[in-house]
Amino acid sequence: MLVTATLELHNTLLALFATLLITSSLSACGELSQKQSEQIDEALRDSLTSSTETWDMDMEIIEEGSKKVQLWGSYAATFTSKNNKNETRIKGPVKIHVFDSTGTVKTRVFSDSAVYEPQDAIFEFFGNVRVNTRDRRHLESEFLKWQQGTNQISTPKFIIITTPTDSIAGTGFEGNTDLTDYTIKEPKGRVIVD
C-alpha cells in the first residue's frame, strides 16, 4: 500500500512538474519583445500583398459618367502597398482604347504588359508598345508612360513616329496621346513640310 501511494504521489508530482515546464515554455515562446514585435510589424508593412487576380481582364475607367478608357489583358494582379497605394500589373497582350468626350475611340495602345497606378492615374507600358490615333499617327517604342490626368505620354527610350506626311525617329519623347503636339529630345529622320 505504501509503494502504491508513493508511486501515485511520484506520478502526480511528475505530471505537475511537466505541466509547469510546458506552460512556462509556451509562455516564453509566445511573448515577443517590443523590438521583435516592431520588426515583425515593419516587415509586414513593407511587403506588397496581392489583393486580387483576374484572368481575361476587361476594365473600364469612367469619369463623370463617361467612359474614358477601356483596357484588355490576359491576366492582372492588383497589389496594395504599405501606404494603401494600389498597383495593377497586367500581362498581355494588353490593348487600351482611349475615348474622347463623344465616346469615340481617339487612340489605341498595344503592349506586351502594363502597370496601372489608379491613385495617380498613371499607366506604364512595356514591350512592343504601339500607339495608333484615329488620324493615322503611329508611335512605336519599348516603354511608354501615360499620365492620364494631364493626357501626356513620355519615354526616355528610342521611338519611331509615323504620320501621313513624315516619319521621325529618336530617343526621348514627350507629347499628348493623339500625337499632335510632341517633343523628341534626340530626333533623327525625314520631315516633309508643305
Both 70 and 88 in a single domain? yes
What integer pLDDT is reported at residue 100 of this predicted model?
87
Q: Are 47 and 59 in contact (CB under 8 A)?
A: no
In this structure, are 93 and 130 located in the same domain? yes
C-beta separation of 74 from 59 below 8 A: no
Band of pLDDT at residue 49, cut at 50, 70 and 90? low
The whole-angstrom separation of Cα 160 and Cα 120 is 27
pLDDT digits (tens, 9 = 90+) for 129-184: 999 999 999 999 999 999 988 889 999 999 999 988 888 899 999 999 888 899 99
Q: Report the CATH number that the domain containing residue 70 is assigned in CATH.
A: 2.60.450.10
Give the range with max mean pLDDT: 33-37, 81-85, 92-96. 92-96
Instruction: Tell whether 151 and 64 lie within a shared domain.
Output: yes
pLDDT in the model for residue 52: 81
Residues 6+ apart with CB under 8 A from 117: 85, 86, 87, 88
Q: Which domain holds residue 14?
A: 2-43
One domain for residues 177 and 102: yes
Average pLDDT over residues 48-69: 82
Query: What integer best gives the mean pLDDT of the chain?
Result: 79
Asked if 36 and 17 sit in the same domain, the reply is yes
Length of the chain in terms of residues written: 194
Q: What pTM does this model have? A: 0.69
Mean pLDDT of 63-85: 85
128 and 88 assigned to the same domain: yes
Confidence of residue 34 (pLDDT cuts 50, 70, 90): confident
Number of domains present in the structure of the chain: 2
C-alpha cell at 119: 491613385
Question: Where are the extended beta strands (E) located within the chain?
Answer: 49-63, 66-80, 86-99, 105-117, 122-133, 138-147, 152-162, 167-176, 182-190
Q: Name the one residue in this structure whose C-alpha cell is 526621348.
A: 172
98, burial (CB in 10 Å: exposed 0-12, middle 13-18, buried 19+)? buried
